Structure 1
Amino acid sequence: MNYIHFFSVEIPEWMAQSNQVAQTVGFNTDRYWLWVTGSIAEICKKYNDNELVVKQFGLLFEWLETQAEGVKA
């Protein structure tokens, strides 16, 4: 696995897409969270569920959940 590409390209591109989707459909919407889980699953599959990839996206998902809780408050 090319870890440099994953962290320097894949993660930043996913985060940019996440921001775009959130702006388009709304951050705390079902459509956004369906996109998040679907896109994470696709990338994990692309990297054959590599443990580092799965854990990195787990951290990102947890971070997004924390942000969503802050929006609700």
Structure 2
Amino acid sequence: MDAINRELIFRRVAEGELSVDAAMALLAPSKAAEPSEPAVRSRQPVEPDGPFPLSVAQRAVWSYHELHP
């Protein structure tokens, strides 16, 4: 939210046109603006190619060894 919108919200609260609770809801960051997962998850290494898929445990061990050689 830019400074102009914040100023308008504060002005409306001061003039009594907007309640403090409504202003707080407007000024609070929206959930949609936040990433759904941490950025670290996007850096997961690519699994090795092979004829059989890795189990969850094998994938965890492989990922750990790729990140901590």
Same fold, TM-score > 0.5, yes or no: no
Which structure's CA Rg is the greater one?
2
TM-score normalised by structure 2 residue count: 0.31
- Give the helix-richer structure, 1 or 2: 1
